[in-house]
Amino acid sequence: MVQLAGRPSSNPDRSRLIRREILIGGTVQGVGFRPFVFRIAAEHGLTGWIFNSERGVTIEVEGAPDHIAAFQAELTGNPPPLAVITTVRTTDLEPVGYTSFDIVPSRSGETRTANVPSDAATCSDCRREIMAPDDRRFRYPFTNCTNCGPRFTIVQDIPYDRPQTTMAGFPMCPECGREYHDPLDRRFHAQPNACPVCGPAARLVDRAGKPVPGPGDAITQAAQLLRWGMIVGVKGLGGFHLACDASNQAAVAALRERKRRPHRPLAVMARDLQTVRRLCRVSPEAEQLLTSPAAPIVLLELLPGAPLAPGVAPGLDQLGVMLPYTPLHLLLLNEGPETLVMTSGNPSGLPLSIDEDDALARLGHIADAFLIHNRPIHIPCDDSVMAVSGGAPYFLRRSRGYVPAPVPVAKEPGSPAVLGVGGDMKNAFCLVKGEKAVISQHLGDMETEEARANWKRALDHLIRLTGIEPVLVSYDLHPGYHSGRLAADLPAERHIQVQHHHAHLAACMAENGLAGRAIGLVLDGTGYGTDGAIWGFEILAGDLAGFERVAHLAYSYLPGSEAAIRHPLQAMAGLVGAHLGDVGLVQLEPLLDREGHQQVEAARSLMRSRINCPQVGSAGRLFDAISALLGICRRQTYEGQAAIELGSFAMTGRAYPVVMTEGGELAVAPFLRPLLQDVLRGFDRRLVAGRFLSTVVEMAALGARRAREITGLADVCLSGGTFQSPWLVRATEERLLSDGFRVFRHRTVPPGDGGIALGQAMVARRRWQSGCV
Ligand code: ZN
Ligand code: ZN
Ligand code: FE
């Protein structure tokens, strides 16, 4: 038991004292909460005790009423940086005459309902120490404290204590041990506490795993290689990155070629905020995200003439940027180039590499050298990606720094624990129990065996950390989804299928606390519809239990089915063929080269035979088709490329005519015909692209108005992967607001498929509750 004698109260008269029990819930363990309370109790002359309890922390304080009030104000008003207080319950009791303030050891079996903290970027105190030549942690790449450092990625089991983390193999030296046990030290109970004497160390090795000889330590050497234009695999917090100098075009081109990633924009890590400002426009909201403990990649508007190799984000007006979030990154960026490409270290379709052997085997043909270390990563966790639109931040990928912090949802009394397994692309799953939804790290596409094995491991891990054992399992309606098969293999009382876009709507409703019915405007890539067609431009009306489809984009064909996603010309042929017929297809001729001509011909024969040619009404495929028509993107090498490039290319223009049929079909021909004519007449394609974007917004608004007329609802939820575009979110929101709607967007889960698991779980839970499963 740690004790500190309390300062005698200013009024020792027992009758004027009170004793108060304070129960605090939220993320309050492993974040320096107990030393903080210990310190402020002493400052306010209070006695009593604190311990980590099952639900958070329990405090009892005794002292003068005004001192306790001041203590409580500081407790809730100025908690440690990583603490998140969600509940405070107080009870006043008879004083018992405590003489000291104690930190009582944790009770066994505690912390099941307390949250395991997320990984946090290096705090300013630790930064100072790393940069101070007289500090014992000068240049130490694994410096951390209770306010920062690895958490989720090193925790193997709970309670969150050092022996249950990958730091178990590093016994603390006497000096680290002293810090760890001193309640007034910043490293009191900092589980990953370490120093150069006792902690992990970095090494630089070549592709064969042999040490690279040279002057200086591993980081200095790696920095030198990067300055020379080489590619270095860097072991970070949640996995390996592939790094190279972001201002060196030859290095960037080599990385792209070796990783076989021709176009997909690469994320950049910049030395500091000043460096970011030389590359991009940084709004106050974006600055806050960049410098937050989560330190995500933030999508920013690129400045013209930014000092960056053109191959980093080819053809785009946006760049994903992050700041160094571990001491190792800080040192590397300080000594190496001021901007590094930092792309995830995984061959496409495969999970992130987390250990050295795996990285050498799988990335050895890409990296020239590897900067590694001996602190094991227990579970892979990709970087998070965020965007800001109209001053509001939202997730494109919710992962490192946010997982496993729960998302609050409304309670369904008596409902069992639920798992939503997510979809097959950009997968994340979600565990829901009571008022807590815990969403997994980004697990990517489910195409490969390795990805699915990684998924199962991540599920076991999160079930262990949260103690949420799912009784219901929910999954997508798509009969061919791998995630559906994984769901079916899991033991559960009931397996419940949820339509893809209903899950999108439900996720947006749940995180905005909408309990009744709402309109869902879901602009998406592909999702399996209840009629077997591919949906994705949906105006729905519904609640968590069910939905009706009020309006949607008129169907086209998708020759080649979902494989056509890689070839936007096929989507274009399907769109033109379905709505303008052979006449339209013939008109396309002058816009095509030989290869394009062949692709369109092949698509035509698929359409004639109706083989491998499903019906599709999706915003994603509509963007693909128009992007191909305008000659912006005719080969798609990453998901959403055609739409992103179209967005970057467009200037503003007014909408083409939008028309809706009696039955709620948004017609294509009325806007496609004049659009095609404009292209054939050689009008400025940037303007045509802009007019198309406005058309999409107008169609969405028309659909929403129909939904309001039919249902009387005025709350609209915006969801679906197409809303990853900051421009489209803002434009649609403004348009709907001017039409008198209340508009809700995603704030805590991504609008794309990374967010559907939450919706699946919420729908399954409600259906179970209302007995309709
Ligand atoms: Zn720190
Ligand atoms: Zn030490
Ligand atoms: Fe989707």
Ligand 2 centroid from CA 371, angstroms: 22
Closest ligand by atom to 171 CA: 2
pLDDT tier at 239, thresholds 50, 70, 90: very high
pLDDT tier at 3, thresholds 50, 70, 90: low
pLDDT higher than threshold 60 for residue 60: yes
Ligand 2 centroid from CA 176, angstroms: 4
SS3 290: helix
Closest ligand by atom to 187 CA: 1
Task: With beta carbons less than 8 A apart as the criterion, state whether 317 and 300 touch.
Answer: no
pLDDT higher than threshold 60 for residue 44: yes
Closest ligand by atom to 427 CA: 3
pLDDT higher than threshold 50 for residue 110: no
pLDDT of residue 599: 94
pLDDT higher than threshold 60 for residue 427: yes
pLDDT higher than threshold 50 for residue 361: yes
Residue 493: count other Cβ atoms within 10 Å of its Cβ. Answer: 11
pLDDT of residue 113: 57
pLDDT of residue 56: 83
pLDDT of residue 103: 87
Ligand 3 centroid from CA 252, angstroms: 31
Ligand 1 centroid from CA 148, angstroms: 4
Calculate what percentage of the chain has a pLDDT beyond 90: 84
Q: pLDDT tens digits, residue range 154-210? A: 999 887 889 999 999 999 999 999 999 998 899 988 999 999 999 999 999 999 999
Q: pLDDT tens digits, residue range 652-668? A: 999 999 999 999 999 99
- Of 298-302, 340-344, 641-645, 742-746, least confident by mean pLDDT is 641-645
The β-bridge partners of 298 are 321, 386
State the distance between the two ends of the chain, measured CA to CA, in whole angstroms.
52
pLDDT tier at 7, thresholds 50, 70, 90: very low
Ligand 2 centroid from CA 130, angstroms: 14
Question: Which residue has tokens 């015909």?
Answer: 673
Provide the whole-model pTM: 0.93
Ligand 2 centroid from CA 182, angstroms: 14
pLDDT tier at 13, thresholds 50, 70, 90: low
Ligand 2 centroid from CA 117, angstroms: 23
Ligand 2 centroid from CA 295, angstroms: 26
pLDDT of residue 312: 97
Q: pLDDT tens digits, residue range 679-710? A: 999 999 999 999 999 999 999 999 999 999 99
Task: With beta carbons less than 8 A apart as the criterion, state whether 568 and 595 touch.
Answer: no
Ligand 1 centroid from CA 327, angstroms: 10
* Mean pLDDT over each residue of the chain, to the nearest integer: 93
| HEC assignment per residue over 196-236 | CCCCCCEEEEECCCCECCCCCCHHHHHHHHHHCCCCEEEEC
pLDDT higher than threshold 90 for residue 115: no
pLDDT of residue 568: 95
Ligand 3 centroid from CA 565, angstroms: 14
Nearest-angstrom CA–CA distance, 706 and 549: 11
pLDDT higher than threshold 60 for residue 726: yes
Ligand 3 centroid from CA 133, angstroms: 51
Task: With beta carbons less than 8 A apart as the criterion, state whether 307 and 330 touch.
Answer: no
Ligand 3 centroid from CA 534, angstroms: 11
Ligand 3 centroid from CA 519, angstroms: 17
pLDDT of residue 108: 54
User: Which residue type, as a one-letter code, is found at position 224?
Assistant: Q
Nearest-angstrom CA–CA distance, 28 and 64: 26
Ligand 2 centroid from CA 143, angstroms: 10
Ligand 2 centroid from CA 174, angstroms: 7
Ion ligand 3, residues whose Cβ is below 5 A away: 524, 527, 753
User: The sheet that has 47-53: what strands, in order across it?
Assistant: 2-5, 100-103, 47-53, 56-63, 18-27, 84-93
Ligand 2 centroid from CA 128, angstroms: 18
Closest ligand by atom to 478 CA: 3
pLDDT higher than threshold 60 for residue 81: yes
Average pLDDT over residues 21-26: 92
pLDDT tier at 228, thresholds 50, 70, 90: very high
pLDDT of residue 6: 44
pLDDT higher than threshold 90 for residue 602: yes
pLDDT of residue 10: 47
pLDDT higher than threshold 90 for residue 363: yes
